[in-house]
Amino acid sequence: MNFRVTRTLPLLAAGLLAAFAAHATEAEHIRASQAWIRVLPGDLPAGAYVTLENTGDQPALLRGARSARYGSAMLHKSSAEGGVSRMAMVDELPVPAHGKAELSPGGYHLMLMQATAPVNVGDKVKVTLTFSDGSTLDADFVARPANATSASD
């Protein structure tokens, strides 16, 4: 019995690895660009924006983010229906196959809170984006002034 387990375990592991390799992760096909953070004074929460491009044949689902520079990061969406500005947490943002999803001011964004140390304009902040299959993508977000309107203006 013991003999059997020790012989089959490596085989099983090899099989799983093969299956994993054949099935690419969501993050592998995502390209991040135009990544920036709007830095606000003090310890006010900051909005972070990025354009995600999916080069794969399968849709990907962005679930959230984390960064060593912030205590917490949440995926949010702003809306202005009926003349009222609202912000709500969202569970996921789909990035269609061979398509794009934009996190941009006034829409989807990451809300970064409790900076571990002050983030200054010009800093590059590493943010890890997490997808529904557990895969991750690291992207450098440029810290921009409060009155910026895009990644470069």
Partner 1 sequence: MIPIDSRMKLCRSRRWLMLLMLTLGVLLLAGCHRDDGIEWRLTNVSDHMPDLDFQLVDDHGKRVGAQDYRGKVVLLYFGYTHCPDVCPLTLAQLHVVMQRLGPLADGARILFVSVDPARDTPEVMHAYVNAFDPRAVGLSGPARDIEALSKRYRSAFTREPDRADGQYEVSHSSAIYVFDGKGKARLLATPSNSQDDMVHDLHLLLSLGSPS
Q: Is 58 near partner 1 (CB under 8 A)?
A: no
What is the DSSP-derived secondary structure letter of residue 69?
Answer: T
Q: Give the contacts of 109 (CB within 8 A, at least 6 positions apart).
A: 47, 48, 49, 76, 77, 78, 103
Q: Is 51 helix (H, G, I), strand (E, B) or coil?
A: strand
- C-beta of residue 46 within 8 angstroms of C-beta of residue 40: yes
Q: Tell the smallest beta-carbon distance from residue 143 to partner 1 (Å).
A: 13
Does residue number 145 form part of the binding site for partner 1 (CB under 8 A)? Answer: yes
Question: In terms of CB distance, is 38 or 63 closer to partner 1?
Answer: 38
* Binding residues among 15-44 for partner 1 as defined by CB under 8 A: 38, 40-42, 44
Under DSSP, the state recorded for 109 is E
Near partner 1 by CB under 8 A: residue from 72, 118, 122, 134: 72
| Contact residues for partner 1, defined by CB under 8 A | 38, 40-42, 44-47, 72, 76, 78, 80, 83-87, 105-106, 109, 111-113, 145-149
